[in-house]
Amino acid sequence: MKRILVTGGAGFIGSHLCERLLDLGNEVICLDNYFTGSKMNIIHLINNPYFELIRHDVTMPLFVETDEIYNLACPASPVHYQYNGIKTIKTSVMGAINTLGLAKRTKSKILQASTSEVYGDPEVHPQNEAYWGNVNTLGSRACYDEGKRCAETLFMNYHNQNKVRIKIARIFNTYGPKMNSNDGRVVSNFIVQAIKGKNITIYGDGSHTRSFQYIDDLVDGLIKLMDTPDSFTGPVNLGNPAEITISALAAMIIRMTGSKSKIVYLPLPEDDPKQRKPDISLAKKELGWSPKVDAETGLAKTIEYFRKNLK
Ligand code: NAD
Ligand code: UDP
């Protein structure tokens, strides 16, 4: 039995990961400061003797004994990471330093939840791991993008200098049950708006694209990445290459919910990437992983979740 720390474990991805790691027979320590996560996401795990919950902020050092660490703590939605940009940078950078220090002391393997945002508004399409990205260091997304880029650098330096066993996952847009209903991300926004019969808010003209992966596929990919040989550090893209325009996503959600909501067009936020699609050749080769859940199936499950849980 391994003891595994999941920082950001009460968040959307973290809560699914904690559940899966417990199912696989591990002991799980879930750490969170509840900025965007919620105890409700993991409440069903609290009576499990192999599950431990710690209220803690990753910007502060932590002393626990672990075998593996998944470092997920960081707000992921633009609305939330821009709420306090300085705190977002501290969470990524100081959080990386503290968890890497912990990994170094305990000789744990450590995985960083990096992001497709390291590619910024990409000029290469689809994006592969060799692309260095196109990020505005001063824009409103920079607190997140540059924090995550610096975290990748810290991971690689701890690996090269201190032989810490690292894994870097570049996660592309992920959706599914347990997304926060007021999270501000596009899939949860559109589903909540459609169910409530409110206007569907498309930012810009809806021609920009994203590639959405279902949460179960991502969790598979993260665990497979953690289990790769020590010689493989990544970075590796984890995403579903099925690219879709935001307009097409809105139309799909309106159809699947049978909603009478109207579409309204609002200004596109600053530096909003125009296109995004992962090249997942490396994940296929090194992890034997590719996503299995198509949009129709994943969205149906997510819609069902919000229908049951929306107040
Ligand atoms: P989320 O906001 O649901 O989860 C983040 C969790 O981290 C929350 O529970 C939050 O309370 C916690 N947290 C934030 N700051 C913290 C701090 N200082 N100390 C301790 N806990 C803190 O977001 P998510 O979608 O589950 O994202 C998880 C990770 O995956 C993030 O690192 C994010 O950058 C990365 N990621 C997510 C996506 C996506 O599409 N969901 C894409 C790329 C990368
Ligand atoms: N978006 C939108 N309406 C919304 C929320 C988001 O049109 O209500 C757009 C947003 O401008 C972006 C895309 O959907 O182009 C994905 O946004 P999200 O915040 O989910 O993720 P990210 O921009 O970080 O990929």
At residue 12, does pLDDT exceed 90?
Answer: yes
Instruction: Evaluate whether residue 207 is within a structural domain.
Output: no
Query: How many A from CA of 185 to the centre of ligand 2?
Result: 6
CA-nearest residue, atom 3 of ligand 2: 202
Closest-CA residue to 149 (of 162, 165, 163, 168): 168
- In short, whether 211's Cβ falls inside 6 Å of ligand 1 is no
User: Is residue 296 one of the residues assigned to a domain?
Assistant: no
Tens digits of residue pLDDT in 98-131: 999 999 999 999 999 999 999 999 999 999 999 9
The answer to whether residue 200 is domain-embedded is no
pLDDT score of 311 = 78
Distance 30 CA to ligand 2 centre (A): 28
C-alpha 203 to ligand 2 mean position (Å): 7
Measuring from atom 25 of ligand 2, which residue has the nearest CA? 173
Establish if 300 belongs to a structural domain.
no
Q: Which has the closest alpha carbon to 113: 238, 241, 215, 242?
A: 238
Residue 91 lies in a domain: yes
Answering whether pTM is above 0.85, one says yes
For residues 118 and 85, is the Cβ–Cβ distance under 8 A? no
pLDDT given at position 280: 98
Residue 265 is a catalytic residue = no
229 lies in which domain range?
A: 3-174+214-240+277-291
- Specify the number of domains making up the chain: 1
- Residues in CB range of 83: below 8 A, 6 or more apart: 75
Question: Using 50, 70 and 90 to split pLDDT, how confident is the model at 135?
Answer: very high
The three-class DSSP label of residue 111 is strand
Report pLDDT digits (tens) over 158-199: 999 999 999 999 999 999 999 999 999 999 999 999 999 999
Question: For the domain that residue 86 is a member of, what is the CATH number?
Answer: 3.40.50.720
Classify residue 219 as left (phi > 0), alpha (psi -120 to 50) or beta.
alpha
Tokens coding 303: 């819609």
As a whole number, mean pLDDT of residues 3-12 equals 98
With respect to residue 124, please indicate whether it lies within any of the assigned structural domains. Answer: yes
User: Is residue 188 within 8 Å of residue 175, measured between CB atoms?
Assistant: yes
In a domain, 140, yes or no: yes
Residue 76 CB–ligand 1 contact under 6 Å: yes
Q: Can you tell me the mean pLDDT for 280-297? A: 98
Residue 18 placed within a domain = yes
Write down the mean pLDDT value for the chain: 97
